[in-house]
Structure 1
């Protein structure tokens, strides 16, 4: 079937996220030093990170909304340090501003412009990237976030909901993402084709889900799409 829509994962597919989160946590801690000094003194970046991991393990339902997970962890840290909880709102606003200061890979902007000439575009993410703030929202007709949908990848429901919003059958859609379990296996279970965005050139692990294609850039994705459309 010739694809009618391509849906994208965001973090680590359209931009690298680890350095952005690391920088956002540094700037958040600096903000805490000024506005909630007792929290900053009692909780290092590493301690906050460890507490968030412990909270996620104890309350896995929070993993649907990573922003809510971070907020809950900060609320606990504020309470333990004796700081006013209303400051958490300011901390989260500051964090989100830094978290959305992403730099797309060089191929992303030209690639999206070219892809839009052939198919509809959408996005599905388990993270809390804000495409409006980032400046890419106009490229996508549909954008679903796990936090708003109420279920996270690899749940097939979020993939099917995005297809429904675009007005295409899952068999007419392709999902592109960097995670073999969440993106490739999740999309295929929902009836979509799946492209593994393998920007690091990693070998496909033994026993891993088999993607319908493997691409390192959006240029390679475009070449694959043009081949599909020509068949």
Structure 2
């Protein structure tokens, strides 16, 4: 554990999810692959490929740049755009989208949450209020983490995604704790570290890259704390 900045007394923790509380490697990729297979089950989309899906996703973003704040809406709009290029009746779109999104969500939640994460959160939750701030779409109740957190905020649904201020401000408001007393923990230097610091939070960077923080391209400012393994946070108890 490295300290780069002096810190106020910590009164609450907020956590990122993916690659912070568990290894998210290849989870989204697998979910997208299975979703494409589901869409290919429709004759009109039989030849759809993953690169074609991503190209459509980029086109949707280009036409509506703000959509990236909500990954769920972005995915739905991408599928809708693909369907608009087929002869599938518009009355059937909702059923196709529901089937594809249900498939994606099943695979999206097939991650393994380490026992060490559960152990840490149990200990922290006995002393501090905990909350989640994520730019993704993982439901903490579906991965066995719901009991540790007072709430979970998601980009798009609860304001613009990290590093923008709305979602951080809402977390501070819901916790009823000043932002300078909340430690945000995450693996992303831009969305988590810069986002936290720019919005008055304390920042803890979990360095999963096994590289010197000063050599990482996304290092724009230093966090208050750097760790390489989540259980190191026990040192703050």
> What TM-score results when the alignment is normalised by the length of structure 1?
0.90
Contact 2:113 2:143 in 1 (8 A): no
More divergent stretch after superposition (45-54 vs 136-145): 45-54
Cα distance in structure 2, aligned partners of 1:105 and 1:216: 15
What is the match of residue 229 of structure 1? none
Which digits, 9 at most, give the CA deviation of each residue in 1:181-220, with x for residues without a partner?
1111111111111000112322213652100011112211
Q: Are 2:20 and 2:230, in contact at CA under 8 Å, matched by a contact in 1?
A: no
The answer for the alignment partner of 2:4 in structure 1 is none
Structure 1 residue 73: deviation in Å?
0.7
Alignment correspondent of 2:73: 68
- Contact 1:29–1:40 at 8 Å: present in 2 too? no
Unaligned runs of 5+ residues in structure 1 are 227-231
CA deviation after TM superposition for structure 1 residue 177, in Å: 0.6
Per-residue deviation, 1:106: 4.6
Distance 1:185 1:79 in 2: 39
**Residue in structure 1 matched with residue 228 of structure 2 by the alignment:** 216
Deviation at 1:160, TM superposition (A): 1.9
> Where does residue 143 of structure 1 map in the other structure?
152
Query: Structure 1 or 2: larger helix share?
Result: 1
Alpha-carbon contact 2:38-2:99 (below 8 Å) kept: no
Tell me how far apart the structure 2 counterparts of residues 208 and 64 of structure 1 sit (CA, whole Å): 21
2:58 pairs, out of 50, 53, 56, with 53
TM-score (norm 2): 0.88
1:85 pairs with 2:90 = no
1:9 aligned to 2:16? Answer: yes
What secondary structure does 2:223 align onto?
A: coil
Give ranges in structure 2 of 5+ residues lacking alignment.
1-7
RMSD of Structure 2 on Structure 1 (CA)? 1.6
Give the Cα–Cα distance (whole angstroms) in 1 for the partners of residues 68 and 25 of structure 2.
Answer: 17
Equivalent runs, 1:10-159 vs 2, <5 Å: 10-34=17-41, 36-41=42-47, 43-83=48-88, 84-86=92-94, 87-159=96-168
Paired residues, number? 223
After superposing on structure 2, the runs of 4+ consecutive aligned residues of structure 1 that deviate more than 3 Å are: none
2:205 corresponds to which residue? 196
